């Protein structure tokens, strides 16, 4: 069974540039999460979806961040006008709908904003 | 809101030493508690789950126990190996959550030297 796939693995930007991260969850997992993990910190939830619907996006840092999951499968997280403070690893995770706490994480997309 | 605190940022042990990592939590409902482990270049993966019903979880030689009275839970292993070197995160899912909305601690980086 394929795991959660994320791309790109690495991105280096100048401040003000935009970047998109893509996530392909495990087949059959209807819930998808995006976490932000700054260096040497724990993951912090940004947004999560049930199928194509946003359940909670209240933790997205600002209107520079957006996330979609149009067909309830793959998802894209976009950062417009990146800032140095956005430097972090962006983790995608998926799970089946129950609240078991078992999330399956991808390897992450490491963003550096210069 | 729900929160989890790990005060041990870094732990260095020798092979065959005893491991003990503590975590405290705050939530308004009875949570389910987890330990996740993250190896370099990978996303976190579930190590152990502890519910308020069973108070204990065991996996791969690791044991997690939970103390509702002190709102703390800890991870221990009798004899660590170099392959256990990783970052360990405690996390919780609030009982009121319908989804696996994990709240993570800051992480404890374990280095095991031969």
Under 8 Å between Cβ of A14 and A111: no
Buried b (16+ CB within 10 A) or exposed e, B76-98: ebeebeeebbbbbbbbbbbeebe
Q: Which long-range contacts (CB under 8 A, 24 or more apart) does A24-27 make?
A: A24/A73, A24/A74, A25/A73, A25/A74, A25/A75, A25/A92, A25/A93, A25/A94, A25/A104, A26/A1, A26/A2, A26/A94, A26/A104, A27/A1, A27/A2
Under 8 Å between Cβ of B28 and A91: no
pLDDT > 80? residue A53 = yes
Between chain A and chain B, the number of residue pairs with CB atoms below 8 A apart is 74
More confident: B70 or A13? A13
**Chain A residues with CB within 8 Å of chain B CB:** 4, 31, 33, 40-45, 48, 50, 55-56, 91, 93, 95, 97-108
Query: CB A102 to CB B100 under 8 A?
Result: yes
Query: CB B99 to CB A99 under 8 A?
Result: yes
- Please state whether B17 falls in left (phi above 0), alpha (psi between -120 and 50) or beta: beta
Residue A86, classed as helix, strand or coil, is helix
Cα–Cα distances (Å) from A3 to A47, A49, A104, A107, in that order, read 20, 18, 8, 10
Q: How confident is the model at residue B2 (pLDDT cuts 50, 70, 90)?
A: confident
Q: How high is the mean pLDDT of chain A? A: 93
Q: How confident is the model at residue A22 (pLDDT cuts 50, 70, 90)?
A: very high
Burial class (CB in 10 A: 0-12, 13-18, 19+), A7: middle
Query: CB A45 to CB B107 under 8 A?
Result: no
- Please state whether A28 falls in left (phi above 0), alpha (psi between -120 and 50) or beta: left
Q: pLDDT by residue (tens digit) across A87-99?
A: 999 999 999 866 6
pLDDT > 70? residue A86 = yes
**pLDDT for A15:** 97
Report the range of poorest mean pLDDT among A56-65, A84-93, B83-92: A56-65
Q: pLDDT by residue (tens digit) across A60-84?
A: 987 899 999 998 899 999 999 999 9
Mean pLDDT of the region A18-23: 98
CA distance B2 to B9: 20
Token pair of A48, please? 């999560």
Q: Which of B73, B100, B104, B107 would best serve as a mutation to test chain A binding (most A beta carbons within 10 A)?
A: B100
pLDDT > 70? residue B53 = no
Under 8 Å between Cβ of A34 and A75: yes
Query: CB B105 to CB A42 under 8 A?
Result: yes
Mean pLDDT of the region B72-88: 95
Taken in order A111, A65, B105, A100, is the CA torsion positive or negative?
Answer: negative
Query: CB A41 to CB B107 under 8 A?
Result: yes
pLDDT > 80? residue B30 = no
Cis peptide bond upstream of A104, omega within 30: no
pLDDT > 70? residue B98 = no
Q: How confident is the model at residue B57 (pLDDT cuts 50, 70, 90)?
A: confident
More confident: B37 or B59? B37
Query: CB A101 to CB B43 under 8 A?
Result: no
């Amino acid at each position: 069974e394929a795991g959660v796939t994320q791309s790109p693995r690495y991105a280096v930007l100048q401040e003000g540039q935009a970047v998109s991260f893509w996530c392909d969850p495990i087949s059959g997992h209807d819930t998808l999460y995006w976490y932000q993990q700054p260096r040497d910190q724990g993951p912090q939830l940004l947004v999560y979806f049930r199928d194509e619907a946003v359940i909670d996006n209240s933790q997205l840092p600002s209107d520079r961040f957006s996330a979609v999951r149009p067909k309830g499968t793959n998802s894209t997280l976009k950062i417009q006008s990146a800032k140095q403070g956005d430097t972090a690893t962006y983790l995608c995770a998926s799970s089946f709908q129950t609240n078991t706490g078992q999330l399956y994480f991808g390897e992450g997309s490491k963003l550096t904003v210069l | 809101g729900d929160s989890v605190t790990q005060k041990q940022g870094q732990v260095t042990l020798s092979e065959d030493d005893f491991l003990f990592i503590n975590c405290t939590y705050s939530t308004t409902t009875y949570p389910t508690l987890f330990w996740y482990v993250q190896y370099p270049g990978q996303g976190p993966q579930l190590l152990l789950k502890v519910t308020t019903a069973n108070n204990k979880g065991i996996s791969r030689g690791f044991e997690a126990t939970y103390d509702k009275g002190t709102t703390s839970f800890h991870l221990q292993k009798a004899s660590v190996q170099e392959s256990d070197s990783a970052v360990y995160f405690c996390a919780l899912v609030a009982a009121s959550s319908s989804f696996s909305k994990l709240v993570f601690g800051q992480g404890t980086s374990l280095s095991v030297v031969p």
